Amino acid sequence: MLTVNIKGNLSPLHRGLIALRSQQVPFAVSLALNTLARGAAADERELIEQTFDSPTPFTQNAYRVEVATKSRPIAIVAAKDIQAQYLQPYVVGGARFLGTKKGMLVPRAVPVNRYHNLTRGKLAALKGKPGVFIGPVKTRSGRIINGVWQRPANGIRRDGGKGTKGRTGLRLLIQFEDTTPAPKRLPFEQRARAYIDRHARAAFEDALRMAIATARR
């Protein structure tokens, strides 16, 4: 699970605790933790944008924040369930996540969207087109390539007859490939901890000032 518990450094609060009523202390702590958690989540979004080529908004918004409360002084930054499944290999290593797919769909001669992915329903649309078939093809070099193929227009086949089946000039539209190791690394935890180290003191000092200002006299 892609999660970091942000407990922070309480030392900036020490001098101000005497001035606070006891009920304001948990408020100050939860306020600081939530500020740090939201900032860390935004920083992780920047990391995703830096790591991946044109990530989708769904991927950019992968992280959620579980806020701290006065009775539960822990803020959690975690990847949402679906995004965590395919982001985890980029964090800890391992093969890329396929989900329910039998293999990776790699576009070869079909348009992709602005995020370099197949458009929704593209595979289903190709299945219904004449001259398109799905399956393995053995190349002249002996390599077997599994995918979505398009036969050429009617003409002379290899065996001398007319038609398209078995004729040279097959076009590979989408290739089916086995999953591969994640090619990039997403240092999620290291990035979050570095953010906290940079901003913890300021966050707790700001929270302390607000708690003092709002305390009832």
Q: Are residues 116 and 195 in the same domain?
A: no
For the chain, what percent of residues have pLDDT higher than 90? 34
Residue-level pLDDT at 1: 42
CA distance 107 to 97: 17
Stronger pLDDT, 116 or 16, i.e. the higher one: 116
Q: Which of 16-20, 163-167, 179-183 has the lowest mean pLDDT?
A: 163-167
Domain coverage including residue 88: 3-96+182-214
Stronger pLDDT, 66 or 97, i.e. the higher one: 66
Q: Are residues 44 and 115 in the same domain?
A: no
Number of structural domains the chain divides into: 2
Amino acid making up residue 201? R
Q: Are residues 138 and 59 in the same domain?
A: no
- Given a cut of 50, whether residue 2 has pLDDT beyond it is no
CA distance 169 to 100: 32
Residue 90 tokens read as 């980029």
In the DSSP assignment, the letter for residue 104 is E
Q: Which of 20-24, 62-66, 75-79, 101-105 has the lowest mean pLDDT?
A: 20-24
Q: Are residues 90 and 114 in the same domain?
A: no
CA distance 201 to 120: 46
Residue 63 tokens read as 């992280």
Q: Are residues 70 and 135 in the same domain?
A: no
Tell me how far the alpha carbon of residue 53 is from its chain's centroid.
11
Q: Are residues 152 and 195 in the same domain?
A: no
Q: Return the closest-CA partner of residue 4 out of 187, 171, 192.
A: 192
The helix (H) or strand (E) run that includes residue 65 is strand 63-66
Q: Are residues 89 and 148 in the same domain?
A: no
- Given a cut of 60, whether residue 14 has pLDDT beyond it is no
Q: Are residues 7 and 90 in the same domain?
A: yes
Q: For residue 11, what pLDDT band results from cuts at 50, 70 and 90?
A: low
Say if CB 200 and CB 9 are below 8 A apart.
yes
Considering the chain, what is the average pLDDT of its residues? 82
